[in-house]
Structure 1
């Protein structure tokens, strides 16, 4: 999603009233999360990081989720039940982005983001029998996930990147212009139109012809989740100044050297980058024996929940089985 800061800035709400309005929208969007759900704060060098937790008592390798810019952990609501059917799920509010995390020190680049995430993963795994997690990132979170995997794999069982911006292909000029116009216009109509290019129209589930399957939700719940997420992202654009660094291209050699299983899912109709170009680069560089790259037909940048609810649990189960007991 759109929204990242100049290097060295600390993100925060523009006003106390804006913070309250945003958090009210966040609470409404989180009503679509399934139970049992809990939450806790993790202290890091860069600030207090809020983590939503689902099915923590499950015994499988934990799943850690990183959302896109401005979208918060509420963006995962339609996938959580499927993701957490046999494992705990930890959805992290990225420090420096709109959400319940509170940034106190600047993130000066990818290295700082990786250090922040390493601290979060250490705390998530503290006291658990497992020593690694399946890391999944959506959009900007996908870029963070890949960046982290190229720097250290010590806590990773696998990494999944969902249409990660700039990691594999340049941003489209039309996306950049749209993001700038949405940010400076002050018009919710323009912002909503821009977000619609990323999310798709209501009821599309992010792709053309997508249908809800076993892990999905019914039509009324999908509408509630879509509108809740749209309102939340509009509130973030109105009231929050981000403190996250801009995504950057990941160089060839770090991608070639990835040592954990990798799944890259791209959106055929992504407004952010050229999916074909991203897939070509991923296929050429990622280790063939442990990496899978797929472009989802008809999908927009925010990939369909029913597709994610099907593909990701199967990928994680295959990785777990290959690792053995």
Structure 2
């Protein structure tokens, strides 16, 4: 079967609508940027690049149903110190941004293979900083298990299916929301999942709902049977991660218990720095953006300084 020229959109008209929206929304990206398409065996990956050319590389992995623009409120402080690469995922979880998949990414091996090809395509070698949110946190952790030697540090924001399994309530609400494709249902889910943001900045939450509905109208629906299964890492896998790692979870997280997640990390992998962010849930990048942004900058710079000092000492 031939692939239509507007793939992965429902139609050429849907593609035009989404691209127009993306172009307008991209104007809010707060720092100078350039874009590129990187070829992989899984398709073309769209990447937004910001920050000084000679700065250490920082790769940003978006959450499910989102794209590179999810980092709009995070990128400015990071791009001051790093060459940032914010990508549109090829894993179809509801939104592909401007990336164009040609082959399903159905397993963790597929996902890490695609990401490694992408990193090669960006001409990055080692000393890479990796930042993943939600689904992107799971992807980052899977990549670290296979290619830890390429990484300098890793930070995970509300990682999904990584430290703890999903709570039944979250799974039930997710399934129900996918089965009832109306705005009011999407709005109800976001208000539950991002309750702190709903109280602090209702207009921002409504914009997120609008974008989610736009993606439902424009993109061909994802085939969830062809997506990687997000399972929590084993104790051995967590202990295998020896690079500097930070995990930030909102106290009101709904995917799993934030306190149970931190207890597990402290028991089985105390080398991982973990913090609970107050007055936030799965929305901590927005509900507590100033706090989280500062913690990210501090973590990356401290970890980088420690790595340089250790290298100097060995020499």
Q: Normalising by the residue count of structure 2, what TM-score does the alignment of the two structures yield?
A: 0.86
Deviation at 1:110, TM superposition (A): 0.6
Question: Following TM superposition, by how much is the alpha carbon of 1:16 offset from its aligned partner in structure 2, in angstroms?
Answer: 3.2
TM superposition shift of 1:173: 1.6
> Structure 1 residue 296 and structure 2 residue 277: aligned?
yes
**Mapping of residues 255-294 of structure 1, within 5 Å:** 255-286=238-269, 288-289=270-271, 291-294=272-275
- Tell me what 2:312 maps to: none
What displacement does 1:295 show? 1.1
1:184-208 C-alpha deviation (Å, 9 max, x unpaired): 2121111122123233365656xxx
Q: Taking structure 1 as the reference length, what is the TM-score of the superposition?
A: 0.83
The structure having more radius of gyration, on CA atoms, is 2
Query: How far, CA to CA, are the matches of 1:202 and 1:27 in structure 2?
Result: 25
Q: Are 1:72 and 1:93, in contact at CA under 8 Å, matched by a contact in 2?
A: yes
Aligned residues: 293
Correspondence 1:92-107 to 2 at 5 A: 92-97=87-92, 98=95, 99-107=97-105
Instruction: Give the root-mean-square deviation of aligned CA atoms.
Output: 2.2
Q: Aligned partners of 1:314 and 1:19: how far apart in 2?
A: 40
1:126-145 to 2 correspondence within 5 Å? 126=124, 131-145=126-140
* Distance change in 2, residues 1:204/1:145 (3 Å): farther
Higher relative contact order (CA 8 A, sep 6+): 1
- TM-superposed deviation, 1:12: 3.1
Confirm or deny that 1:242 pairs with 2:222: yes
Q: Helix, strand or coil for the counterpart of 1:236?
A: helix
Task: List structure 1 runs of 4+ shifted beyond 6 angstroms.
Answer: none
Give the distance between the partners of 1:177 and 1:203, measured in 2 at CA: 21
2:24 corresponds to = 28
Q: Unaligned stretches of 5+ in structure 1? A: 1-10, 206-221
After superposition, residues 216-235 of structure 1 pair within 5 angstroms as: 226-235=205-214
